[in-house]
């Protein structure tokens, strides 16, 4: 594979949900590429469509009421939106796998963790019972679980939250997938355990070359793990950039607000504390999505008439940094 | 400290566990195991720690929502733990709580106005005729419109619901408000709105907060004095500047270094890798409770429990390895 060729390419993806008030566009015209071995962060508030994007890639959009209404998701050129369920079930867990926010509810409480890790490899690689168990032990060792020989026969409830998330990661990586989607992988965990999981994901990526899509609301996690960032708002991509560029030069008013509204931990805090920057209002509801104009207008301090009338296209900021905001229109600047 | 509004002394909350068989040794969860702290009037006292460290149990014990095993909690000269029945009920007008989850802490079948009014009626605060006007005023204070009193909780967003919870806590004009993870269930953009509101109300009404959070950035922004808890004990306590500038306990130091930073140019801080999870609070072993995860632990750490002692102006730490000059083991390691 050519290094410049994307491993996974999401191209003008559109996901719609049928609601009582008509069709709601929960993902609208979202595009991004993921290269082999890269970590891409997707950030936004709840309801911005970041988890739905992940579900669309996995072919897990609940249908009905939802459906992928347009665009393509290409894994090495193969359009997953056209793949049938049989094909998708061969891809899920083998080529693309996912770890979820809540490790307790995503593990089956009545099977041992060894059975659950083994199931993936038995299904996708046709391994026998004994070989699957060996692989499960290897995976538990790889994710840093002590005494894997013993732990492999334990049930999820016998483990701590951090350990369960390690099991989830072991399960997701058992078949050496090309893409790992991590949906808020550390939100339910304590900060010292979160740091361990970050280190683990980084090490595993270096060893296996798995590309990671990290979905989070935490800019700190993004700074820690991601190389490139996509910021989503109301089902649309509003900004994307390499991580240092995004944190150092955020250009969309929403991204700026998202970075400024969080009290950052300072090693040397100032004596005087300023009030935090607020993003007024709340995210628009489903029914308000897909109308004309920029969806951020009601919460934006810089909105003008054009923002209300027309959806801003992505403008180049510099290099690989783009933001969809009329303020960045080079023609309007004059 | 003479102007302390609240003072907890040797507070313990133990939960007995059911015996596995009739001859088993009785076990107890030492959720809070002998902590002392005082909160100055008009300030915010932060309790931080990971899950299971006992911070919420402490908050609930202060509110008398769970029973403490021993110790005392003094609120303006009244020992809260000695109160019973009607006396305790009436004392509640001086102390109120804001809960973490604005979804489960509001009754879905009661209108927002009635939720905020209830403590006024229950505790008979102010003349009955003026209460509706008082509720409207509270709505304005927390940034809601008075006409929203007629709505039900499901008609509000998460941030607005938390505002209702804050209005309810303010209703009786309490001196102390316990904030138990007040923003952790909210979206980041909404957190800033609520934190700013809490700080504004504090200045406006001279409130004293006991502020519980696991988010160190939030704690640094909100609190004047901070205690770090680990497995039911306070391991370090200091004012805001000393704690974050010179953390002394190895746990505090590791905790601070584990927080991912989104600040560009600040450099990715040197991560102190703590291995494993916090040990179980069931029948803890003697010695320092952090010893099993501490990179500096010595033989005495595993046998003798360190006491919380003062090492600098108002800076208290429970660690054998911090010397009298306030030099901590991680500072020696770095030098």
Å between B8 CA and nearest CA of chain A:
26
Q: Which residue has the tokens 């595009």?
A: A31
Closest partner CB to B255 (pick from A192, A198, A263): A192
Residue A266 DSSP symbol: -
pLDDT in 10s for each residue of chain A, 334 residues: 445 679 999 999 999 988 888 888 889 999 999 999 999 999 988 888 888 999 999 999 988 888 999 999 999 999 999 999 999 999 998 999 999 887 778 899 999 999 999 998 998 988 899 999 999 999 898 888 888 999 999 999 988 888 888 899 899 888 889 999 999 888 877 888 888 888 888 888 888 889 999 999 888 889 989 999 999 999 999 999 999 999 999 999 999 999 989 888 888 888 888 899 888 888 887 777 666 789 899 899 899 999 999 999 999 998 899 999 999 988 875 4
DSSP, res A38: -
Residue A209 DSSP label: -
- Following DSSP, what letter does each residue of A126-167 receive, concatenated? ---HHHHHHHHHHHHHHTT-SSHHHHTT--GGGS-HHHHHHH
Question: Is the CB of residue B280 less than 8 Å away from at least one CB of chain A?
Answer: no
Q: How far is CA B123 from the centre of its chain?
A: 25
Cβ–Cβ below 8 Å for B262 and A220: yes
Structure tokens at A55: 């579900």
Decide if B277 and A194 are in contact by the 8 Å CB cutoff: no
CA A327/CA A114 separation, integer angstroms: 54
* CB-based contact A261 B244, cutoff 8 Å: no
Which helix (DSSP H) or strand (DSSP E) does residue A16 occupy?
strand A8-19
Longest dimension (CA), chain A: 70
pLDDT digits (tens, 9 = 90+) for B267-308: 445 667 787 777 778 888 889 999 988 999 999 999 999 999
pLDDT at residue B250, rounded to an integer:
94
| CA B14 to chain CA centroid, nearest Å | 18
| CB proximity list for B323: less than 8 A, separation 6 or greater | none
From residue B55, how far is each of A161, B179, B239 by CA, in Å?
18, 11, 18
Give the integer Cα–Cα distance in Å for B192 and A256: 14
Q: Is the distance from CB of A310 to CB of A293 less than 8 angstroms?
A: yes
Tell me, what DSSP letter sits at residue B247? -
DSSP code of residue B51: T
The pLDDT of residue B268? 46
Which of B56, B103, B188 is the best residue to mutate to test the A interface, defined by the most A CB atoms within 10 Å of its own CB?
B188
Structure tokens at B22: 């009739």
Q: Is ipTM beyond 0.85?
A: no
| Distance between CA atoms of residues A87 and A199, nearest Å | 33
Q: Which of B185, B204, B221, B331 is most worth mutating to test chain A (most A CB atoms within 10 A of its CB)?
A: B221
Q: How far apart are the first and last CA of chain B?
A: 35
CA dist., res. A209 & res. A177, Å (int): 9
Chain B residues with CB under 8 Å of A218 CB are 188, 260
Q: Which residues of A touch B255 (CB under 8 A)?
A: 191-192
At A58 the pLDDT is 93
- The C-alpha angle with vertex A241 and arms to A239 and A246, in degrees rounded to 5, equals 85
Radius of gyration over alpha carbons of chain A, in Å? 21
- A–B interface: beta-carbon pairs under 8 A: 133
| Predicted pLDDT of residue A195 | 86
DSSP secondary structure of B230-247: ETTEEEEEEEHHHHHHS-
Query: Nearest C-alpha of chain B: how many angstroms from A54?
Result: 19
- Of all residues in chain B, the one with the smallest CA distance to A259 is B262
Edge-first strand listing for the sheet containing B78-79: B28-40, B4-16, B70-75, B78-79
Share of chain B above pLDDT 90, in %: 72
B226 - beta bridge partners? B46, B238
Under 8 Å between Cβ of A317 and A323: yes
Q: Residue A56 is encoded by which pair of tokens? A: 């669309």
Which tokens in the block code for residue A128?
């026998």
Query: In chain A, what are the helix, strand and coil shares in percent, each to the nearest 5?
Result: 40, 25, 40
Condensed to tens digits (0 to 9), the pLDDT of residues B67-98 reads 999 999 999 999 999 999 999 999 999 999 99
Residue closest to B224 by CA, chosen among B207, B234, B233: B207
Q: Is B228 helix (H, G, I), strand (E, B) or coil?
A: strand
Q: What pLDDT is stored for residue A188 in this prediction?
A: 75
Angle at B287 between CA B286 and CA B289, to 5 degrees: 95
Residue linked to tokens 């894994």: A75
Give the helix/strand (H/E) hosting B2.
Answer: none
Which of A145, A244, A263 has the highest number of chain B CBs within 10 A, making it the mutation to test binding with B? A263
**φ, ψ dihedrals at A34, nearest 5°:** -130, 125
Query: Quick one: which of B278, B272, B240 has its CA closest to B256?
Result: B272
Written as one string, the DSSP assignment of A77-132 is TEEGGG--HHHHHHHBTTTEEEE-S-HHHHS-TTS-HHHHHHHHHHHHH---HHHH
Q: How many CA atoms lie within 13 A of B326 on its CB side?
A: 14
Nearest to A265 among B50, B192, B259 (CB): B259
Q: How far apart are CA A115 and CA A110, in angstroms?
A: 10
Tell me the C-alpha distance between B6 and B73, whole Å: 7
CA-nearest residue to B158 within chain A is: A282
B331 touches A at CB < 8 Å: no
pLDDT of B269 reads 54
| Residues sharing a CB contact under 8 Å with residue B210, sequence separation 6 or more, in sequence order | B6, B39, B45, B47, B59, B62, B176, B177, B178, B179
Give the minimum alpha-carbon distance from B247 to chain A in angstroms, rounded to a whole number.
10
String of DSSP letters for A231-257: EEETTEEEEEEEHHHHHHS--SHHHHH
- Residue of B213, B209, B178 whose CA lies nearest to B51: B213
Q: Which parts of chain B sit beneath pLDDT 70?
A: 1-2, 263-271
Q: Is the pTM of this model over 0.90?
A: no
A132 vs A120: CA distance, rounded Å: 9
Report in angstroms the alpha-carbon separations of A35 from A32, A209, B75, B168.
10, 10, 60, 51
Q: In what order do the strands lie in the sheet with A78-79?
A: A22-34, A8-19, A66-75, A78-79
The B309-312 sheet, strands edge to edge: B95-98, B176-180, B208-212, B44-48, B225-230, B233-239, B315-317, B309-312
């Amino acid at each position: 594979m050519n290094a410049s060729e994307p491993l996974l390419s999401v191209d003008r993806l559109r996901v719609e949900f049928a609601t009582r008030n008509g069709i709601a566009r929960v993902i609208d015209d979202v595009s991004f590429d993921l290269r082999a071995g890269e970590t891409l962060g997707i950030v936004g508030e709840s309801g911005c469509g970041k988890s739905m994007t992940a579900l669309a890639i996995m072919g897990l959009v609940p249908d009905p009421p939802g459906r992928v209404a347009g665009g393509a998701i290409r894994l090495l050129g193969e359009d997953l939106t056209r793949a049938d369920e049989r094909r998708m079930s061969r891809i899920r867990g083998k080529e693309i796998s996912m770890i979820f926010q809540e490790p307790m509810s995503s593990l089956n409480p009545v099977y041992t963790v060894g059975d659950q890790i083994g199931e993936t490899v038995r299904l996708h690689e046709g391994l026998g019972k004994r070989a699957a168990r060996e692989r499960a032990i290897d995976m538990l060792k790889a994710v840093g679980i002590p005494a894997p020989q013993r732990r492999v026969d334990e049930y999820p409830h016998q483990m701590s939250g951090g350990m369960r998330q390690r099991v989830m990661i072991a399960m997701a990586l058992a078949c050496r997938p090309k893409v790992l989607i991590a949906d808020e992988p550390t939100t339910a965990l304590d900060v010292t355990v979160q740091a361990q999981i970050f280190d683990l994901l980084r090490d595993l990526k270096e060893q296996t070359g798995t590309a990671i899509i990290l979905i989070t609301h935490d800019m700190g996690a993004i700074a820690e793990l991601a190389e490139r960032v996509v910021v989503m708002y109301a089902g649309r991509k509003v900004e994307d950039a390499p991580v240092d560029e995004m944190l150092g030069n955020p250009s969309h008013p929403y991204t700026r607000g998202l970075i400024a509204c969080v009290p950052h931990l300072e090693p040397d805090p100032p004596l005087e504390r300023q009030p935090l920057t607020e993003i007024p209002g709340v995210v628009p509801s489903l029914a308000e999505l897909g109308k004309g104009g920029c969806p951020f207008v009601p919460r934006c301090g810089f909105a003008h008439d054009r923002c209300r009338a027309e959806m801003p296209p992505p403008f180049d900021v510099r290099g690989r940094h783009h933001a969809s905001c009329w303020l960045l229109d080079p023609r309007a600047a004059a | 400290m003479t102007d302390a509004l609240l003072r907890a002394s040797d507070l313990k909350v133990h939960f007995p566990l059911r015996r596995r068989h009739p001859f088993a040794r009785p076990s107890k969860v030492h959720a809070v195991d002998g902590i002392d702290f005082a909160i100055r009037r008009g300030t915010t006292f932060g309790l931080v720690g990971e899950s299971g460290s006992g911070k919420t149990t402490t908050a609930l014990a202060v509110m008398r929502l769970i029973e403490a095993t021993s110790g005392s909690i003094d609120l303006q000269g009244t020992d809260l733990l000695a109160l019973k029945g009607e006396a305790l009920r009436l004392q509640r007008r001086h102390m109120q709580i804001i809960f973490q989850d604005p979804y489960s802490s509001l009754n879905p079948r009661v209108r927002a106005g009635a939720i905020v009014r209830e403590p006024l009626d229950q505790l008979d605060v102010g003349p009955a005729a003026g209460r509706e006007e008082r509720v409207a005023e509270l709505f304005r204070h927390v940034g809601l419109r008075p006409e929203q009193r007629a709505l039900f909780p499901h008609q509000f967003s998460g941030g607005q619901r938390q505002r209702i919870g804050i209005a309810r806590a303010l209703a009786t004009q309490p001196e102390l408000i316990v904030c138990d993870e007040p923003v952790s269930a909210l979206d980041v953009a909404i957190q800033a709105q609520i934190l700013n509101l809490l700080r504004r109300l504090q200045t406006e009404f001279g409130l004293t907060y006991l502020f519980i959070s696991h988010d160190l950035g939030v704690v640094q922004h909100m609190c004047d004095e901070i205690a770090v808890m680990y497995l039911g004990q306070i391991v370090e306590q200091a004012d805001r500047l000393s704690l974050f500038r010179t953390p002394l306990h190895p746990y505090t130091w590791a905790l601070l270094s584990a927080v991912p930073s989104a600040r560009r140019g600040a450099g990715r801080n040197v991560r102190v890798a703590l291995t494993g999870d916090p040990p179980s609070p069931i029948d803890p072993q003697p010695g320092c409770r952090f010893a099993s995860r501490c990179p500096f632990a010595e033989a005495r750490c595993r046998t003798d429990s360190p006491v919380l002692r003062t090492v600098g102006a108002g800076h208290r730490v429970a660690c054998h390895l911090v010397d009298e000059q306030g030099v901590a083991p991680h500072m020696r390691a770095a030098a």
